[in-house]
Structure formats: structure tokens, C-alpha cells
Structure 1
Amino acid sequence: MEKRFKSTSGRISPPPLRRQKHSPIVAPTQDTQRSAGSFASTPGTLSIFSWNVNGIAPFVQGYLQKPISAFFKPSPAAGKKRRRGATDDDVTTDSEDDGVKEAVEMGDLMKEGKASLRAVLQRYRWPHILFLQEVKIKAGDTKTMAAVKLAVNDAGEHTRSDRMRNARGHVDGTDIGKKGPYAAWLEDGGPEYDVQFNLPADPRNAKGFGGKVYGVAAIIRKDFMHRYVQSVREVAWDREGRVQIIETGELSFPLDPDPEARPTSSDEIEPGNKTSEKGRSEFAAKFAIINIYAVNGTSNRYYNTQTGVEVGTRHDRKLAVHTELLREAHALQHKGFQVIIAGDLNVARSELDGYPNLRTWPHQHVLNRLDFNTKFFTKHPINNISSRVSYSKDAATSTEESIQGFDGIDTFRHVHGTERSRLLMACYSSTARASVEGRNAIVTGSSRGIGKAIAIRLASDGYNVCINDIPANQKGCEEVVGEIQALGRKACVAVADVSKRDEVKQMVQTSVDVLGPLDAMIANAGIVQVKAVLDVTEAEFEHMFAVNVFGVNNCYMEAAKQMIAQGTCQPDRPGKIIGAASIVAFKPFALLPHYSAAKWAVRGLTQAYAMQLAEHNITVNAYAPGIVGTAMWDQIDAQIAEKRGARRGEILKEFVREHTALGRASVPEDVAKLVSFLASSDSDFCTGQTQVVDGGIIFT
């Protein structure tokens, strides 16, 4: 059994072979612990392996002008030690001793061909694709990239001078696909490989622990690449070296029926698809194979790639990456590709740093994975694809079975079983952040104040957001859009006056056209006016109701029509309609008579819509803020102070001191947290409610 080695740079050698699960997709041998050939793909299938290599340098040290000890850094915590009877010159550090020992062992393995990249490929019987994550190569390090390309084709039996001479030839443009000195290295009889990299263009956000940058790579068999691969590309939304997509032409199965009869040079391959003995393909499809390494270091800060401003944490970015990945996968599916997602999506973490609400109980990681799988993968089998693909999630650990889904391959659900009933508390998710990825919301009146806070919070939760306000506030809308996009979400502006039904209808259409199906409507826009009841004019009363009642009704109405028409609302994923009420909907303020009446009306509308829309799987709720530190309450404070002859700010302070149990005015983010709950799956069983968030002013 192969020995494992450790270093300060992480795992550098594949761990022992483990007995693999029996699967109709990958046929195991009698004893997988003793037979490296047991990791070979079933003949005729597409063989894909994935390995988080955690630094590629130790595997290519023979092709670089560095001693192997350079790859083993002493631990900063290591102390000095003196062997009994040693002199001062003999004193070394613990880490130096360990590093030299590991370096010698690793060097011996490399000489034996047991720890080289070529040995890994041979061990897995020459897969079509070996994906690597965390290669930790800088974008400008062409020397290491060239060394990797040499290492995947060198059996490790030539001198270092031969390697360096040929490395220079390769860098200068030598065609390794042709027979010659390079092909002579393939003494094991295996095929040639090419290597494609995606390295960070944004090293600041891609930097991991120890200062190393991340990056992914695809090692692709050249006969497969020349015959089938149309492109190996990156994606516009990834500047951190996390995503690669291999798009193939149509593959006819069985593919490469005899793994021992594969050509060793690309110029021996004739274009065209293989057929069965009967002269026709059993199955044919074109594939999009995605290599991804999702964001790690979840509590670390994340910065806007253009401005350098801190815009959240890497956990926020990870949610955005998942959203973009899902969108990318759907786009590929629409183009006719069967989608395979490989690599490390960083989904099932039991502790998501910096977000206590995400680790509320021990089995949260199970729920996170379940929720992720539910969003990403369908349950129906398609075209028998999974029987045509052999996939290993971690080539350095074990070969695991794949499950049909997402009109492609679900490489994750099998970890906790294929049936929801086999997962702990599978019917429940305790975190909103893990349940709204890829959904779309409209927030009216969101250029500032509570509306802006709601929009930013929903974007942090995973929503794409349509920002709305009147034309006078368009600049503020555009600024909010920029903040949301910096979080990695999609956002757009839809200028509209909510009191006008036709403009609201157009706003909804704009959101759907830009973001996609509408999942949540937050009717937040509103106005306020301070006046004694006998002083309110008819025009003022009508204007108050036009915005605060008819405006809410217009948003409720058009959102409901859109949600019903698009047919996306389901019992386990209801549409969300949420309106802005107020504590004055429960206890009126004497100087806010028409405002109080309007907010009472919102409560009634919310209950009526909730009863009518329940059959369409749409929930309708409202939120009732108290005293919030926004421009609207500054206006109320100023007008009341003027009437009473008090100083500005004194009225607000007095009210909070005397009437708020928690002893402070709320901030917009307090309200946004409640709306986040109402817009999440955690509130799926709540409807017709007006939830108070006031710090304890009124008690219902």
C-alpha cells in the first residue's frame, strides 16, 4: 500500500488506495487496495478524475532549477533542539530536520516514478481528463507551467539535463504531438497529455493561506483533445483562476473500448467518432465539463476587483460563484451540452466562518449540501448519460459513484445518499443564506434607506436584485446596483412610479428580461407627511394613498400575475410578496393620520392577497418597522420638533428613551434582516402576517 507523506504545503502524494463502492458506473476489481488498475474507467466510458493537488510544484521539481527542499518551508513555530552530545554547529530546528527527511523521501519517490504526475496518470489507467485544483502557480510563471506540461509526459527515467534541454525546446514551440525525442520518453506506452491552465488574474482575492495563489488546470489526453475537444475556456465572471470549461463535439459511445490499445501520438488519430461492432454508436452526446474550485477561506475579506474596496467576505463570493455556475450550466444546457460539474464546490462545510447563523447545529453541513443539490440537480434520468461517464471526485482519495441529474452528472449527492429520506432533517433548512441562490427580486424605493439595506441584504443572501425608485433618485439606484454587482450578483435599475400601474408592469417586465423569472417582490416604496388630522387636505390624503396603498397594491398585483404566468412557484419553493407596513398599522400616531391609515390598509391588503394567492404557492407578508434612523424619520422628527418648538433630534431621542424597550432606534439593517427571513425558505409556512421589528415599542 502506498505511503502518505505530509509537508507544510499540504498533501503532495496521493493517499492509499481505498476499496471503492460498487457502482454500475465504475466497475471495481476483486481487490481495489492492491490493484492500481482498479481505478481504470469502464471500457468505453469517458474517464474523468479530479484532484485538489494543493500545490503542483513538488511534482515538477525535477524540471525546475530548484532543490526539492525549497518546497518545504520551516514552520515559524519550530524551536531549536540540541541532540545529546552535539556541538553548536550541529543544532538544527525540528522543521528543518523534518523538511530534509521529507525532501529525501519525496526525491526517492520521484526517481522511482511513484510520485510524479505521470505516475498518477498511469495509476488511474490514462484517464481522458485529470482536473487539478489549487495548483498554486502565478499567472506569469511560464517556467512552472512548461514544467507541468513536461511532467505529465515524462516517465521519470531521464537525467535532469535531458529534461531541461527538452523543456527549453518545448517552451520554444516544439510540437510534443509529433514523434521525436520527446515521444521517446513515453516508455510506459501510455498516451500523450496536454495541460490547460486558468490562473488568477486577480491574485488578491485568489490568495490562500501562506500567500499562495489558487488556480486550476486540466490535464487532457491528446488523442481525446484532438478528436473531440472544441474549446477549453474560462468564464468572464471568474478572475481568480477557479473555473475551466471543456466543451466537446459529439462523443459516440462506447468510447475507446480497449484501454490498452490507445495510440501514443496524436498524429496516429483519425478524426471521427467510434462505433460499436454493429457499425453504429450506442449513444452520442456533446459535453460541457466544468472544473471548479469554489472560494476558500470563507471569513477572509473580499475586495471589489476594480475599486479595491472591501465588499464582503469570501463566503459572500462563494455564494455568488455558485449562482454564476448554475447560470453558466443552464446556458450550456440550452446550447445542447450535457453538463458535468467536477472539482470542489466547497459546499458541505460544518462551520462557515464569520456567519454564526450558518452553523446553528451540528448537521448544518448536511442541509447545506442537500439544499445545494436540490437547486443544482434534477432527479430524472436523462439519456443514460451517467452510465457513459466514469468520475472520481478526488483522484487522490477514491473513485466514487456518480448520480444522474441536472441533465448531466451530479457528482455530489451520493455523499449522503440519493434519497432525501436518508439525509438528516431533509425536509428542513435552518439558514436563509443557503436557500435563495439564483433567485430574483424587485425592491421598490431602494435607492437609499431601508430599501437599499434590503436590496444589499438580499444580494448577500443570493438574490439578483432589480433596484427601483422615481427618476429623481436614479443616481442612487445606479450606486446600489454597483454595490450589488461588487458582491458578484446581477442587478439592474427600473425607474418607475409605483402609484402608476403601467409603470409597475413595465418595471416587472424589465426585471424579468434582465434577471430572469421573478421570485420575490418587496413593495418598500412609501412617503410620509406630518400633519394634524384636521389639517390634511384632500389632495394630500389622495397622494398618501396613491403611493402607500395603491403603490403597494400595484406591486402585489403585477408580481402575482407574473409569478402565476411563469409557473415557477411550487409548494417547496413559493413565490414571495412582501409589503412595507409600519407600527402605525397597529397603533396610529396622532400627527401621522393619513400615513397611519395607509399602513393599516397595507395590513388588510396583505391578508387578502395571502388568502387568494395561497393556492398558487405564493406567500404574502408585510414588515412593520418602528423608529428607524433614515431620512424619512429625520423628516418626521424635524416637522414634529418645529410644531412643538423643540430642537431637531430631541423628539426622536425622547421617544426612543421612553417607548422603546431595547433602548435604541433601529437602523435599516435591522429591518433588512427581517425581510431576509420573509424572502427565504425559512418563512415558507408564514403568510398573511405583518411582522413588527421595532425594538419593543408595541406588543401584539
Structure 2
Amino acid sequence: MDREISPPPLKRRRVAEAEVKKYRDISPEALRLFSWNINGISPFIQKPITSFFASNTSATNITNSAPQQPSLRDFLRRHNFPTLLFLQEIKINPADSPTQNALSRAIKRPPSEPEFNPDYVCHFCLPHDKHNATGFGRKVYGVCSIVRKDFADSYVAQMRTVDWDAEGRFSVIETKAGLDVPKLAIFNVYMVNGTDYPYKDSVTGEIVGKRHERKLEVHRLLQAEIGTLENDGFQVIVAGDINIARAPVDGHPNLRTHPYQHVLNREDFSRRFLDISSNDKGEESSKNESRSLGMIDTFRHLHPKKKDYSYYPRGRAFGDSCDRVDMVLCSTSLASNCVEAGMLATAADRGTSDHVPIYATFDFSERPGASRRESRSLEDLQAD
């Protein structure tokens, strides 16, 4: 990797100061979205073992020296209460209401915070596929969309799932248009990981192919869903774990090419969602999935050559092997509104997951003299 994982103390101080200024410079109407494959919600809602000790001097010393429990509320507060926080791979059994309630409580404003600090609501999409989502006591997959309550009250028309997914991978927020904010459809996605494991019909349980083939089918279905929404006047944002690294710049030390099906999956994703040149190949049809959506990869849009990554597999030293597989995509019409995109790879932000949070900001205000292509990511601030 050609960048420092953590800047030296002086740079860290400058980054922190500039980060505060960055949030002041963004319009209050901006939509700030964070997305994170959290790889299991348990560390964020379970009681630390020290909470079971009696309250005495010895126990207090143990508590004070113990690592701080990961906190979603702290994450929201630290990043100035973003509009949206999308979580993937939350691993909650769909029948486990107590854990769902615990997550909802974990994002609420506690009594110790000022009343002007925002509150949040959440929407779950959990697996109900009895043939493909049965592992670990059905604690697999699952996404949760955490929405700032003032935004939900003012703009959100509905939060829904999609009828072609039974594995708990897709949550959709549809908004109403505001004075400056267009009508949006915002997807929280945990795309299928292509493997040679069998995929079963979600109704009959019959093996109908491999997970690779299901991945390609999900590409087609999502493309058609987005195409329909855009035809209905929505501008679309897709955020989450895409489970694809797009190009050599997105993989370290190299891009995965074996087995070759990974290459085909990558090409299919680019052709359907990103590569508008594929629309000039002479095979036009009225079907939504026949033409590339020509969406914008926000990070690559603002950082054409920057090497940065969102997935760091366990069992390797941090930074030895990594890929950019988490992304925020948007309709072409939103490209000029995207003013930030980046990743949070600090130890404080990446927590217990093998993925790090990513973010993008869409500013819908008219700011005289401000360039919408200005990028103020943490990585750029470090380079200042």
C-alpha cells in the first residue's frame, strides 16, 4: 500500500481539526450516508463482562482498564449524527425480537445527551429463506437501515424490502421530494458473494445452481428494480457491501482473478450498473435490464486513482491483503451533488469487523462559488 494506515500525531491533530471544519462547511440539507458491513451486531449490544461484577473498588479498577464496548451511538455522535447509517451482515435470527429491540435502543438518544441531539429509527430486513439462510441458528446475513428521525419525519415516504430477496439483503428507503432535495430511492445492500456452494430454490429447496449464478441473477433483478424506480422519477443511491472489487486499483496486493468466475461476475456488474459504453453495442430493448444504468461510483468519481480499501480479511496483518468491495453508487443525475466519499480505516472506526465503514455526502443546497466536485475526504485532509 502506498499510504500510511495511521498518520503521525501532528497529522492526526490536523485531520481532527479539519474534520470539524468540514462538517461546518456542509449544508444542513446535505444527506450524509455511512455504510458498514458490521459482521455481527452482538459486540455492539451485549453487556460487557465487567457489568456483572459487584460495585466495589476492585471491580471499578477492572472496569476502567477494560476495552471500551463498541457503541453505535458513539459512532453516530463521533461523526456528527449523519442522516443514514446502513449496516450489513448484522446476523440476527428473524424470530429474535429482543436483539432487534436491543439494537433499536442502542441508537436512541440516552438521557445523558442534550435534547437537541437527534434521535434515530431503524428498519430491519432479515432472512426468511428456509433453504439458503439456515446456518448458525439462522443468524446469517441481514441488513439494518438506521435513519435520523428528523429526516424520516420530513422526507421518508416508506421503508421496504424487495420481493425477489428472501435472504435479508436489501432494504429500500423511498423519500418525498423537498424544496431542494429530489425524490430518492436509497438502497441498503448486502450483495451475494459468488461461490461454488449450491443455491436452492427458496420455496421448494431444490438445487437450481451455484451461488455464483445466484449472484448474477441478483445483479439482473437489482438492475431492473433500479431501472423501474428511475423511470418513475426517483434518483437512486445504492450503498453497502457489493462483494466485488472493480479494478486492479481496488485490490491489494492484486485483484482476485481465480477462479475465473470472479472475473465474469465483475464484468457483469460493471456492464449492468456502471459501464454506459455497453449501451452502444446495438442490442437495445425496452426492458430495464437491457441497458446499463450508468451509475456513478462515488469514491472513484471523486478519487480517480486513489488506492483505498474497505475489506481486510482476518488472519492477515492489517493492510497486507485488502479490497474495495463496499461502495456507494448513485444515479448519474446525482453526480454533481456528491461532495464527499471515503473510508474510515482507523482503529477507532473499524471496530470488530473485517470491513471498515464507508461514507458519501450529497449536498443539495445551492452554494454560490462552491464546487460540487470538491472532495473533503479524510484521506485528502491527511495529504494537505
* TM-score, length-scaled by structure 1: 0.35
Give per-residue Cα distances to partners, 1:502-524, cap 9 Å, x unaligned: xxxxxxxxxxxxxxxxxxxxxxx
Task: Specify which structure has the higher proportion of helix.
Answer: 1
How far did residue 305 of structure 1 move?
1.0
1:272-671 equivalences under 5 Å are 284-296=181-193, 298-348=195-245, 350-351=255-256, 356-358=259-261, 370-371=270-271, 373-374=274-275, 375-377=292-294, 383=333, 386-387=336-337, 396=350, 397=356
Distance 2:358 2:16 in 1: 12
Q: Note if 1:51 corresponds to 2:28.
A: no
Partner amino acid, structure 1, of 2:167: E
**Tell me, which stretches of 5 or more residues in structure 2 are unaligned?**
52-61, 247-254, 276-291, 297-329, 351-355, 363-384
How far did residue 207 of structure 1 move?
5.0
Judged with a 3 Å threshold, the aligned counterparts in structure 2 of structure 1 residues 36 and 235 are, in CA distance, closer, same or farther, namely same
Q: Note if 1:153 corresponds to 2:112.
A: no
Give per-residue Cα distances to partners, 1:249-304, cap 9 Å, x unaligned: 00333xxxxxxxxxxxxxxxxxxxxxxxxxxxxxx411000111011262222111
Q: Is the 8 A contact 2:92 2:138 kept in 1?
A: no
Aligned to 1:61: 46
Partner amino acid, structure 2, of 1:347: I
Partner amino acid, structure 2, of 1:236: D
Aligned length: 278
Judged with a 3 Å threshold, the aligned counterparts in structure 2 of structure 1 residues 348 and 203 are, in CA distance, closer, same or farther, namely farther
Distance 1:210 1:319 in 2: 27
Q: Note if 1:197 corresponds to 2:124.
A: yes
Q: Note if 1:229 corresponds to 2:156.
A: yes
Aligned to 1:94: none
How far did residue 192 of structure 1 move?
0.3
Distance 1:34 1:209 in 2: 44
Partner amino acid, structure 2, of 1:126: F
How far did residue 333 of structure 1 move?
0.6
Q: Note if 1:142 corresponds to 2:77.
A: no
Distance 1:34 1:298 in 2: 44
1:80-95 equivalences under 5 Å are none
Task: Specify which structure has the higher proportion of strand.
Answer: 2
Give per-residue Cα distances to partners, 1:134-162, cap 9 Å, x unaligned: 0000101100010011111255xxxxxxx
Distance 1:38 1:209 in 2: 44
Distance 2:205 2:46 in 1: 35
Distance 1:207 1:382 in 2: 38
Q: Note if 1:109 corresponds to 2:68.
A: yes
**Structure 1 stretch 383-392 or stretch 306-315: which is displaced more?**
383-392
Judged with a 3 Å threshold, the aligned counterparts in structure 2 of structure 1 residues 216 and 359 are, in CA distance, closer, same or farther, namely closer
Distance 1:390 1:304 in 2: 40
Give per-residue Cα distances to partners, 1:79-130, cap 9 Å, x unaligned: xxxxxxxxxxxxxxxxxxxxxxxx98996413xxxx2110011121101110
Q: Note if 1:42 corresponds to 2:18.
A: no
Judged with a 3 Å threshold, the aligned counterparts in structure 2 of structure 1 residues 333 and 152 are, in CA distance, closer, same or farther, namely same
Q: Who wins on radius of gyration, i.e. which is larger?
A: 1
Distance 2:7 2:21 in 1: 10
Judged with a 3 Å threshold, the aligned counterparts in structure 2 of structure 1 residues 106 and 242 are, in CA distance, closer, same or farther, namely farther
Distance 1:154 1:130 in 2: 15
Provide the secondary structure at the position in 1 that maps to 2:177: strand
Distance 2:102 2:21 in 1: 29
Distance 2:49 2:201 in 1: 38
Provide the secondary structure at the position in 2 that maps to 1:339: strand
Partner amino acid, structure 1, of 2:129: D
**Tell me, which stretches of 5 or more residues in structure 1 are unaligned?**
1-15, 20-28, 70-102, 156-183, 254-283, 404-700
Aligned to 1:133: 88
Aligned to 2:319: none
Aligned to 1:542: none
Partner amino acid, structure 2, of 1:249: K
Judged with a 3 Å threshold, the aligned counterparts in structure 2 of structure 1 residues 365 and 198 are, in CA distance, closer, same or farther, namely closer
Provide the secondary structure at the position in 2 that maps to 1:331: helix
Partner amino acid, structure 2, of 1:42: I
Highest relative contact order (Cα 8 Å, sep 6+), 1 or 2? 2
Provide the secondary structure at the position in 2 that maps to 1:336: coil
Q: Is the 8 A contact 2:33 2:360 kept in 1?
A: no
Q: Is the 8 A contact 1:348 1:365 kept in 2?
A: no
Provide the secondary structure at the position in 1 that maps to 2:229: helix
How far did residue 345 of structure 1 move?
1.6
Distance 1:318 1:306 in 2: 18
Q: Is the 8 A contact 2:131 2:201 kept in 1?
A: no
Distance 2:99 2:105 in 1: 10
How far did residue 17 of structure 1 move?
7.3
Aligned to 2:366: none
Give per-residue Cα distances to partners, 1:471-515, cap 9 Å, x unaligned: xxxxxxxxxxxxxxxxxxxxxxxxxxxxxxxxxxxxxxxxxxxxx
Partner amino acid, structure 2, of 1:52: N
Judged with a 3 Å threshold, the aligned counterparts in structure 2 of structure 1 residues 204 and 122 are, in CA distance, closer, same or farther, namely farther
Q: Is the 8 A contact 2:294 2:332 kept in 1?
A: no
Aligned to 2:310: none
Distance 2:65 2:239 in 1: 29
Provide the secondary structure at the position in 2 that maps to 1:288: strand
Q: Is the 8 A contact 2:227 2:293 kept in 1?
A: no
Q: Note if 1:206 corresponds to 2:133.
A: yes
Distance 1:57 1:106 in 2: 21
Q: Is the 8 A contact 1:153 1:185 kept in 2?
A: no
Partner amino acid, structure 1, of 2:14: D
Distance 1:391 1:351 in 2: 24
Aligned CA RMSD, in angstroms, stands at: 4.0
